[in-house]
Amino acid sequence: MRFFLEVLISGLLSGVMYSLVALGFVLIYKASGVFNFAQGAMVYLAALAVVGCMEKGAPLWLAVLLAFGIMTLFGIATEKFVLRKLVNQPPIALFMATIGLAFFIEGLAPMVFGSDPRALDIGIVDEPIEAILNGWGMVISKFDLAAAAIAAVLVTTLALFFQYTRIGRALRAVADDHQAALSIGIPLQHIWAIVWGVAGFVALVAGMLWGARNGVQFALTFTALKALPVLIIGGFTSVPGAIVGGLIIGASEKLAEIYLPALMQSAFGGNFGGIEGWFPYVLALGFLLVRPEGLFGEKHIDRV
């Protein structure tokens, strides 16, 4: 039982890390109705910007500020040079544009900041909490707990922002219909620039946490891989959904990784494992069959 609990908690905490990346997707989706293929690349760019600035001698706080500035500028530039030309175009056109953007960032970021994998020390050690280890014999990482706290603050802030601010409401209107939003005077360009800036900030937080955990390197772009099942389960338009989806994916994939191989081995023979690579997608597929809009997503009804 202790081991089961340990795996479950570790999975939930890993899920929070997935949620952080998924949040960026939700923001863009809410504002433009498009799945931002470049979100993983933005995580990479943000983390590289931090270590790049630190290598030039900036202390961590300044590097984070500068990286935030870079991500904001990037958001504004994306709106001006990519999205503005695509207003009122089908979502697939915007999606294709984000694919191009991903390749652009993946090429540009290492060119500017270097491609060597680097360590990022944000002052939180990834070690077990002694009291829990000694008292219950369970490994709960200080780093994972800190990441969960950061995610909780971020989600609460974003949820409040979308629910209760004028920009948040405008943003939801833009997501529903670009043209209708423009016709009632909502400044679409500003909204998009703001939302890409906020998505850049979320990418910065995710990039710093993932970078501190595994090193800052190209593989940060892969963090987006787990965001897709998180979004399918939580819903593409829901900030709390990204968190709940992340928790479900994190916990279920870890439990599956530990307990499924033995079952599969007794049923089919051979050596099984590496299940967490595909399990989240199978789970997401199941959700798509029974609840395509996800747990917290808006039900989309087309009238014909």
Partner 1 sequence: MFAYRKPLLMTAAAFAMLSQVAAAEEQFFPIVSYRVGPYGANGQSFYGGFVDYLNYVNLKDGGINGVKLAWEECETEYNNAKGVECYERLKAKAKVSTGPLHVMSTGISYALIDKTAEDKLPLAMMGYGRTDAVDGSVFPYAFPLVTTYQMQASAIIKFIKDKEKGNLDGKKIVFLYHDSAYGKEPIVALQEEAKLNKFALTLIPVAHPGNEQSAQWLQIRQENPDYVVFWGWGVMNQTAIKAAQKVGFARDKMIGSWWAGSEEDTVPAGDAAKGYMAATWNVAGSDVPLIADIKKVVYGAGKGNLQDQAKLGTILYNRGVSAAVLSVEALRGAQEKYGKGKPVNGEQVRWAMENLNITDARLKEIGATDLLPPIKTSCADHEGSGMVKIQQWDGAKWVPVSGWIEGNKGLIHPLFKASAQQYAKEKGITPKDCAKES
Query: Can residue 133 be called a binding residue for partner 1 (CB under 8 A)?
Result: yes
3-state secondary structure of 235: coil
Which of 139, 173, 182, 228 lies at the binding interface for partner 1 (CB under 8 A)?
Answer: 139
Question: Do 79 and 192 contact (CB within 8 A), yes or no?
Answer: yes
Which of 40, 75 has the CB closer to partner 1? 40
Query: Can residue 112 be called a binding residue for partner 1 (CB under 8 A)?
Result: no
User: Which distant-in-sequence residues (6+ apart) come within 8 Å of 87 by Cβ?
Assistant: 178, 182, 188
Query: Can residue 24 be called a binding residue for partner 1 (CB under 8 A)?
Result: no
User: Which distant-in-sequence residues (6+ apart) come within 8 Å of 89 by Cβ?
Assistant: none
Residue range at the interface with partner 1 (CB under 8 A); choices 115-123, 156-164, 232-240, 288-296: 115-123
d(C-alpha 234, C-alpha 247), whole Å: 10
CA distances from 274 to 240, 247, 257, 259 (A): 29, 19, 7, 12
Query: Can residue 3 be called a binding residue for partner 1 (CB under 8 A)?
Result: yes
- Of the candidates 206, 202, 243, 246, the residue with the CA atom closest to the CA atom of residue 222: 206
Which of 79, 276 has the CB closer to partner 1? 276
Query: Can residue 218 be called a binding residue for partner 1 (CB under 8 A)?
Result: yes
Which of 279, 287 has the CB closer to partner 1? 279
Please give the DSSP secondary-structure letter assigned to residue 296. S
Which of 221, 238 has the CB closer to partner 1? 221
Query: Can residue 283 be called a binding residue for partner 1 (CB under 8 A)?
Result: no
Query: Can residue 126 be called a binding residue for partner 1 (CB under 8 A)?
Result: yes
CA distances from 178 to 31, 62, 82, 83, 188 (A): 9, 37, 16, 12, 7
Query: Can residue 44 be called a binding residue for partner 1 (CB under 8 A)?
Result: no
d(C-alpha 121, C-alpha 60), whole Å: 9
Closest approach, Cβ 193 to partner 1, in A, equals 30
Query: Can residue 119 be called a binding residue for partner 1 (CB under 8 A)?
Result: yes
Question: What are 272's two structure tokens?
Answer: 């099984």
Question: Do 140 and 5 contact (CB within 8 A), yes or no?
Answer: no
Closest approach, Cβ 114 to partner 1, in A, equals 8
Which of 160, 282 has the CB closer to partner 1? 282
List residues binding partner 1 (CB under 8 A).
3, 6-7, 10-11, 13-14, 17, 107, 110, 114-119, 121, 126-128, 133, 139, 141, 143, 210, 213-219, 221-223, 225-226, 253-254, 257-258, 271, 273-278
